[in-house]
């Protein structure tokens, strides 16, 4: 079972800001085609509510039940939703493997950046199918760190990224999960599985993405595991520093950066 401590990105204030930046930059790309005209939607692993805001805004007539295992995160999410003025979200602490809901309780399930942190994503999906009404839908959004490439290329930057992938794997997760969503959702018993990639391409003609994605989302995410990567002996300090410098280098005027998220939609 995942504990709070296992969350690879940690729970610092800086991480909260990173998640907020990420949500703003990516909301359109990831969520623009998610709209629930009515019904009850379970958001699994809402965390600090970074995606909950998008959900609540885009589906004002739906009721969103935002669940997370971490009470601290839920409190932050609750405050964020309250201060943004949304009234269609309720919060519930819960574990995806033992949810406090009746079967068939929900019309829809929404899970964004959650399965990547779970050691048994198939089991989690099976549990989620169980709380969905017949004909209900599930929407799953995940990244894939192996989809990352950039210019100029750098073996040091690749090694730094590999630390994040390795630490997430050691915590029981899978940061390469995006490309596996199709078989994963299908093999969990869902039907009509449709996966669409959402690629982020960044060059200097898109300054908002340079800052919002390359620097403040992806590079900041890698930088966030510095201490753990060094402590685990996954990399030496010089290689790490050079790798981070080379990631920042891709944000210069002649650099480019690519990353792809995957969105799966399916029915029970």
* Closest by CA position to 174, among listed 31, 42, 46, 8: 8
φ, ψ (nearest 5 deg) of residue 47: 60, -135
Adjacent-strand bridge partners of 42? 65, 109
In angstroms, give the least distance from the CB of 38 to a copy of itself. Answer: 28
Nearer to a copy of itself, 199 or 232 (CB): 199
In angstroms, give the least distance from the CB of 183 to a copy of itself. Answer: 4
Count of beta carbons in the 10 Å neighbourhood of residue 212: 18
- Whose structure tokens read 């589906």? 59
In angstroms, give the least distance from the CB of 155 to a copy of itself. Answer: 13
Count of beta carbons in the 10 Å neighbourhood of residue 82: 11
Nearer to a copy of itself, 52 or 137 (CB): 137
Nearer to a copy of itself, 91 or 150 (CB): 150
For residues 190 and 129, give the distance between their C-alpha atoms in angstroms, rounded to a whole number: 7
Nearer to a copy of itself, 47 or 255 (CB): 255
Count of beta carbons in the 10 Å neighbourhood of residue 249: 15
For residues 32 and 54, give the distance between their C-alpha atoms in angstroms, rounded to a whole number: 9
Sign of CA dihedral 157, 159, 165, 167: negative
In angstroms, give the least distance from the CB of 48 to a copy of itself. Answer: 30
For residues 34 and 11, give the distance between their C-alpha atoms in angstroms, rounded to a whole number: 27
In angstroms, give the least distance from the CB of 147 to a copy of itself. Answer: 6
Nearer to a copy of itself, 88 or 256 (CB): 256
For residues 147 and 30, give the distance between their C-alpha atoms in angstroms, rounded to a whole number: 16
* Lookup: tokens for 27: 């909301």
Return residues touching a copy of itself (CB under 8 A).
Answer: 144, 146-147, 149-151, 153, 176, 179-180, 182-183, 186-187, 193-197, 199, 201, 203-205, 253-256, 258, 260
In angstroms, give the least distance from the CB of 203 to a copy of itself. Answer: 4
In angstroms, give the least distance from the CB of 146 to a copy of itself. Answer: 5
Nearer to a copy of itself, 36 or 261 (CB): 261
φ, ψ (nearest 5 deg) of residue 49: 85, 15
Nearer to a copy of itself, 174 or 223 (CB): 174
């Amino acid at each position: 079972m995942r504990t709070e401590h296992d969350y690879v990105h940690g729970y610092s204030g800086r991480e909260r800001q990173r998640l907020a930046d990420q949500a703003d930059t990516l909301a359109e790309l990831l969520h623009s085609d998610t709209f629930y005209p009515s019904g009850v939607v379970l958001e699994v692993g809402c965390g600090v509510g970074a995606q909950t805001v998008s959900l609540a805004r885009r589906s004002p007539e739906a009721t969103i039940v935002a669940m997370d295992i971490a009470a601290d995160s839920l409190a932050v999410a609750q405050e964020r939703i309250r201060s943004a003025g949304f009234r269609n979200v309720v919060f519930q602490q819960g574990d995806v493997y033992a949810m406090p809901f009746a079967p068939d309780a929900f019309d829809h399930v929404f899970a964004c950046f959650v399965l990547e942190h779970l050691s048994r994503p198939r089991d989690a999906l099976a549990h989620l199918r169980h709380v969905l009404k017949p004909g209900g839908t599930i929407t799953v959004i995940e990244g894939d760190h192996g989809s990352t490439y950039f210019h100029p290329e750098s073996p040091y930057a690749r090694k730094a990224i590999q630390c994040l992938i390795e630490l997430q794997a050691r915590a029981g997760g899978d940061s390469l999960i995006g490309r596996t969503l199709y078989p994963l959702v299908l093999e969990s018993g869902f039907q009509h599985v449709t996966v669409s990639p959402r690629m982020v391409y960044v060059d200097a003609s898109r300054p908002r993405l340079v800052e919002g994605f390359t620097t403040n989302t992806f590079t900041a995410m890698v930088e966030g595991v510095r201490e753990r990567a060094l402590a685990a002996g996954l990399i030496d300090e010089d290689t790490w520093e050079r790798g981070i410098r080379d990631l920042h280098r891709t944000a210069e005027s002649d650099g480019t950066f690519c990353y792809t998220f995957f969105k799966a939609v399916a029915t029970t």
